Homo-oligomer: A and B are copies of this chain.
Amino acid sequence: MKGVKFAGIVCGIKKNRKNDIGLAIFDKPAIACGVFTRNSVKAPCVGITKDRIKHPIKVLLVVSGNACVCIREANADTLLLSSALARKLGIKDSEIALAATGVIGIRMPVDKAVRAYPVLIDSISESHKPFSEAVTTTDAFEKVAEKSFFAGRKKISILGIGKGAGMIAPDMATMLMFIFTDAAISRGALNAAFKESVAESFNCISVDGDTSTNDMALVFATGTADNEEIKSNSAAFNVFRKNLKQVCLELAKMVVIDGEGATKLIEIRVKGAKTIKDAKQVAKTVANSQLVKTAFFGQDPNWGRIMAAVGRSGIKLVPELIDVEIQKMHVVKKGYEAKGFDEKKLQSALKSKEISVVINLNNGKAETVFYTSDLTFDYIKVNSAYRT
């Protein structure tokens, strides 16, 4: 993509000898917006980056394998990571946005990173591949999504690169997500489009209900597409917004598909709620239910667990109004087992890798969609032995 170059190499923080330090360098300083973890226990990089992106950014530095948090030296180490890089590149510390991901409470091996800077800088190229590998931790695959469209006669691109597989909950970004665009766009328009995109993508997925200390989603706009600046009231704004949302949603789904140990992508659509808040509350409760998630892993059409999860979601509801469909088959009608429900047929339909659940509360007009994964033996395997 025009306006941004990438690098990624092995510096030795991750044990698996995969790239663990990455750079994105902008041809022109990029305006940036971000959404950050709501966890009260935050890595220093969260606050530092949140502050720095108020001004244009020249470089994004990502370190994976260590979250650099809950350690007395974490703040100093984080600042050192960025000041050493700034010196090498001849830019200001404050022009670097930075993110870290990995284990909590182990000191960041800053030396390893700093020693790698010369090789890292030498490897800068147009390919985003080394960078997208450097961003991952327990991810089984790299997460990249791209869209292009025209604003007037100028082609605009949006490229998203992210990581996330565990500690994924519908509460803020809950992952690292970096979106790059060459669009010329006002800060206000970029911010509005991004907030909306995040709300309807990264904030609507759940793998295990945990959220991390380091989550952030950042968008960078370099303006190198030379289009007329997009403003919130431009004709091009809606097109930009739609494409940005699609990139975010594609990445969000990839995270769920890659949910640690996951074998299925489960879409949970809640309809007929009184308010969006109610709809989200129900979707989130079902999406996080261990019993629902294990049932789908077992391909067991156990819709009772969905009803039980809906019932405990805490919103006011009338059980006798609720309809539930799984794989487009009615399983619950007005709170009871649907007439003609064919359990064998549904069981067979549950073999699919994509599962659709529609819960209609028949109690209003608000609607939402969440994505979750099933809960499997491999989730336990990955997470019980994460560090050992």
Interface residues, chain A, with chain B CB atoms under 8 Å away:
38-42, 67, 69-72, 74, 103-106, 166-167, 169, 171, 208-213, 288-291, 294-295, 297-300, 302-305, 307-313, 316-317, 319, 332, 335-337, 347, 375-377, 379-381, 383-388
Contact = CB atoms under 8 A, between A and B. Distances in A.
Contacts of A74: 336
A317 B40 contact: yes
Contacts of A294: 379-380, 383-384
Nearest to A261: B380
A300 B387 contact: yes
Given A302-B386, A380-B376, A388-B300, A213 B308 contact: yes
Contact of A39 (B213, B300, B312, B387): B312
A232 to B, nearest CB: 32
B386 A300 contact: yes
Given A335-B70, A384-B298, A384-B300, A209 B311 contact: no
Given A211-B308, A302-B386, A376-B380, 16 more contacts: A38-B312, A40-B311, A41-B308, A42-B319, A103-B304, A105-B307, A106-B304, A167-B291, A210-B309, A213-B311, A290-B290, A295-B384, A298-B383, A298-B388, A299-B388, A375-B380
A377 B302 CA distance: 20
Contacts of A104: 302-305, 307-308
A211 B312 contact: yes
B386 A295 contact: yes
17 contacts: A41-B319, A41-B335, A42-B311, A42-B319, A69-B304, A74-B336, A104-B307, A105-B307, A167-B308, A169-B312, A209-B289, A290-B290, A290-B379, A294-B379, A299-B388, A347-B388, A379-B380
A38 B314 CA distance: 9
A385 B308 contact: no
Contacts of A212: 308
A297 to B, nearest CB: 5
A383 B377 CA distance: 11
Nearest to A308: B213
A278 B347 CA distance: 43
A210 B286 CA distance: 10
Contacts of A384: 294-295, 297-298, 300, 376
A295 B383 contact: yes
A166 B310 CA distance: 17
B39 A308 contact: yes
Contacts of A209: 209, 288-290
Contacts of A105: 302-304, 307, 332, 337
A173 B104 CA distance: 35
Contacts of A295: 383-384, 386
Contacts of A300: 384-388
Nearest to A301: B387
A298 B386 contact: yes
Contact of A171 (B213, B312, B336): B312
